[in-house]
Chains A and B, each alone.
Chain A
């Protein structure tokens, strides 16, 4: 190996003597010097910002009610509304009088911020019935003298949040303030330290590395190294090298490896520098960052393998650069086309939620569509069309009975939970050939439907949970006019409505047929989850780190009773999923271990289950056996969580998480309790049904592809395998740096979409490509006369 090591070492020396390398070094040092003064400080989250509002309409309505409703005058909303600036009060007054007034969220935020600085509006008596977070109670319990100014402001903010339930997004109690050379940046980040670290590791560092290493250094590296092979082929150099007792192929490979020295030297400095800056300045010592060094060199080697072959073939650095640039353009175009197919073809058809009504299988799609599987044609029949650019949102379908399902289509609701126009519950009956029929009016901004036993269903909107009788729902189906005419009717009847009912509607309150079940002043705001007892006797809500058990009221129309509540440890802003099975509740929150809780007392009944970060909770369902759950993680695999066999029957059973089962790339899970089948939606639009007792496959659905999907699978996908997806290596870097295999994206603040990083495919396709190019180069070099 000595001769080849000598060639590699010589390439390092040559790289070090390159002026361009030193220019690159200086540029890297300057960049690091610019980044070095960045720092941060932590402080309490006090200021409101526009994006802190989860439901601005509700807030507007509540404040308006506080102004115009005499009964609310001495309530928190009345006191807050009265303390608002005059201009805003006048606008809210008009809202209360039924006018359509647009108020910018930033104006509301500024007004609330003024209240924080002048808390004259606060009255202990008025606030005593509000639902207050543990943090607020602690602050109020603390002696005034012990509170810093920042803590006092925090307390006022929490009081405002308590007065306006269901209005605000959950924000961490402490915020990160970025500083530069000791000075605060103008904007703060409403994230806690852990989220800040996640932000840096998952977004900032991968982005910097992607751009600097993925584009700038690669291009610079090709410019510098393109001459290595043509230079070697100069007669005075090549003949001498070939006269030595060395293998031509290994000589070429050594030159190739040596050529990567340039990028290795630059990347090492940059990544090490970023690692140290992040460590010393931001307290983020992320050793995984160093993995970017080999990944970046690997990325460069893809392009350099093309440059090497072109240099061998044409012996010209200019041509080598030109050919490599063309290759890069091809990679880019292929990546863009692939991305377009992902976004416009595959994603809209991806099954998001399943509903099984007897022998019929329904699913809502990511493209805002509703589909039913037609076994005869082996296709998904569209009830509502999936559209990549569509603005509508489909409320996940819910099985009412074996012959009926319920759903709703929120017009323009994809990015706005409220959508536009009235929202009717849609009922699809088998007898009507599954044609959607409008039924009861749903509360505004309804996003989820739940079964409450065999006779009722629940609707969850931005903060409230309402109930309706299934009989009413079915009876109303088909007897209402279309949503469009309803909207028209609404506009004509607006004048007739009282201001109070309109405000109530704006706040997402009850409608005809639906009555609220949540206790007074309780709101279920994100991050949240609801699990309903299969018999409909009780439900468990999880909202902002608080678990609550509500027991069913004796009769419809009454609010349900809170019979147990528990504040969870850890950050309240962590999203989670929960399910009930028997008398056990499983709660899985992001970056927290899975907890199993007694459904009655809400106290833990088993040891927590630690899961890896790649298994971000996506969904969980009870398996119908009274003990175990099916858990879907961010890695796209399903696992069973159940009591250890040895502990079955004992009081203090220990639960464990099993090995993955079923297909990979699972997007949705649903239990069919009647047939005891677990349905898994996977690989865009495929579904597999497993028997719940032994998890054997009982049914597989692989629908026929649509024409564009066929093009995607037969043309685009092979093309993406053949042409290395260098752009996707950025995802490998992001996954490496963050240590996560997926990232959650807030599509509409209501439902998070988990996007899995493509880690293996780009590595495999790039490695295969390098192998092919180097083999071609070696064969060419070994067999040609020079």
Chain B
């Protein structure tokens, strides 16, 4: 079985859980273990009670050393999932644990470092005093705080500016300070919520480098971001969410190159490259070569003005199907001018899954 784990929005949760579990086999106990997690927010108004389902049965695992990216559009449930992991919000159903401890427990929280989306440090702090404050909140001793502060300030590049009031900090410095505080107590799991949000390209690059350094140090990182390129650059595994559902999860390379969404392009021409190639190859001849294939799995378009007569696009076919089409084309004496295996990017996959989910969601009322 391929390592790629793909779960469409239409797959049921159980099958997704089975896929996830099987893929995690042999990697030890997961650091983050979420099973069928549900969260419904209730609100009251004059019109009565209103329930909003933020998470509708999410299951995922993250293991030691993973840089786990959490992707999804606004309102997908990413922040709710993170809040539950941090113990800020209590789940309505399902279970979630960190390091085998229930989320929200002191033991679990003491091993987590968190960088909120828009960090707010009181204005009376300097970088060093803020680190001291957050270190104390993490139950660190004064000696450990003093020692760690130097290391961390060095790591995030704030050494030398540590006595400045945070009022004078730029957004990038602020974000680095946030990263520093999340690392103060040397956590085993880092939860970074939009760590590069609002930063200019230089700032993003700086933060990304820090994350990469942490990754290299073997930290487990849970990254929540809108920015797909950033996730592609630093994450080893990714989960895609939309409308409170988990759409896909897996290693980033494989998630980006799933069969679904991958196309094979075959440009064909006559053997002798005649001056009027179109006249020499009837469309029916090509179609006869694809007679074994599902009509929906290929398309044929004319390519006038190029060195090929037609372009055959095989949609989501496996290698065997491609080989068979190639063999039959060649047997029919049709030249293959160009063959390209076109794999989708993470963005392609993300957009396809999200669009598909939204389409399904819009159909759901009629279906039901």
Contacts and interface: CB of A to CB of B under 8 A. Distances in A.
A245 B124 contact: no
Contact of A786 (B88, B123, B124, B129): B88
Contacts of B129: 13
B109 A10 contact: no
Interface in B111-166: 112, 114, 116-125, 129, 133-134, 136-139
A680 B221 CA distance: 79
Nearest to B142: A2
B87 interface: yes
Contact of A2 (B87, B112, B139): B139
Most chain B beta-carbon contacts within 10 A, residue among A3, A234, A241, A785:
A785
B120 A237 contact: yes
A6 B116 contact: no
Contact of B139 (A243, A245, A785): A245
B89 A240 contact: no
A506 interface: no
A27 interface: no
B83 interface: yes
A44 to B, nearest CB: 58
Given A10-B122, A234-B120, A785-B88, A239 B114 contact: yes
Nearest to A17: B124
B106 A240 contact: no
B137 A241 contact: yes
Interface string B184-213: 000000010000000000000000000000
Given A235-B118, A785-B89, A246 B124 contact: no
B109 A245 contact: yes
Contacts of A786: 88-89
A243 B109 contact: yes
Contacts of A2: 136, 139
A240 B119 contact: yes
Given A7-B137, A13-B124, A17-B124, A243 B118 contact: no
A244 B116 CA distance: 12
B90 interface: yes
Contact of A236 (B119, B125, B134): B119
B110 interface: yes
A587 to B, nearest CB: 63
Contacts of B86: 239, 242-243
A14 interface: yes
B169 interface: no
Interface in B5-32: none
Interface in A211-246: 231, 234-246
A13 B118 CA distance: 23
A786 B104 CA distance: 13
A245 B106 contact: yes
B114 A240 contact: yes
A3 B136 contact: yes
Given A2-B139, A245-B109, A246-B137, A239 B83 contact: yes
Contacts of B112: 243
Contact of A17 (B90, B109, B123): B123
A715 to B, nearest CB: 34
Interface of A is mostly: helix
A475 interface: no
A237 B115 CA distance: 10
A3 B137 contact: yes
Contacts of A239: 83, 86, 88, 114, 116
Contacts, number: 78
B70 to A, nearest CB: 15
Given A243-B86, A243-B114, A236 B124 contact: no
A628 B364 CA distance: 97
Contacts of A238: 88
A694 to B, nearest CB: 63
B120 A236 contact: yes
A329 interface: no
B133 A10 contact: yes
B124 to A, nearest CB: 4
B106 to A, nearest CB: 4
Given A244-B138, A245-B138, A6 B133 contact: yes
A16 interface: yes
Interface in A316-350: none
Most chain A beta-carbon contacts within 10 A, residue among B119, B136, B138, B139:
B136
Interface string A1-38: 01101110010011011000000000000000000000
Interface in A626-658: none
Nearest to A785: B89
B149 to A, nearest CB: 14
Contacts of B138: 3, 244-245
Nearest to B39: A785
A246 to B, nearest CB: 6
B178 to A, nearest CB: 8
Contacts of A245: 106-107, 109-110, 137-139
B117 A235 contact: yes
B109 A14 contact: no
Contact of B117 (A3, A13, A17, A236): A236
B90 A785 contact: yes
A10 B87 CA distance: 23
Contacts of B181: 240
Nearest to B113: A243
Nearest to B88: A242
A235 B83 CA distance: 11
Contacts of B125: 13
Given A3-B139, A6-B137, A13-B124, A243 B119 contact: no
B347 to A, nearest CB: 28
A480 to B, nearest CB: 78
A395 B95 CA distance: 83
Given A243-B86, A243-B109, A6 B120 contact: no
Contacts of A16: 124
B82 to A, nearest CB: 9
Contacts of B191: 243
Nearest to B114: A243
A257 to B, nearest CB: 15
Contacts of A10: 122, 133
Interface string B61-97: 0000000000000000000000100111110000000
Contacts of A5: 136
A239 B83 CA distance: 8
A15 to B, nearest CB: 9
A235 B129 CA distance: 21
A236 B198 CA distance: 14
Interface in B337-366: none
A680 to B, nearest CB: 58
A6 B181 CA distance: 15
A236 B88 CA distance: 12
A253 to B, nearest CB: 15
Contacts of B119: 236, 240
A235 B89 CA distance: 12
A237 B166 CA distance: 14
Contacts of B120: 231, 234-237, 240
Interface string B33-51: 0000000010000000000
Contacts of A243: 86-88, 109, 112, 114, 191
A786 B82 CA distance: 12
Nearest to A236: B120
Given A3-B136, A13-B124, 5 more contacts: A231-B122, A241-B137, A243-B88, A243-B112, A245-B109
Interface of B: 41, 83, 86-90, 106-107, 109-110, 112, 114, 116-125, 129, 133-134, 136-139, 181, 191
20 contacts: A7-B137, A10-B133, A13-B125, A16-B124, A231-B120, A235-B116, A236-B116, A236-B117, A236-B118, A236-B120, A237-B121, A238-B88, A239-B116, A240-B116, A242-B88, A243-B87, A243-B109, A243-B114, A245-B109, A786-B89
Q: Which 6 A-B pairs have the closest CB atoms?
A: A236-B120, A6-B136, A17-B124, A245-B110, A243-B114, A244-B137
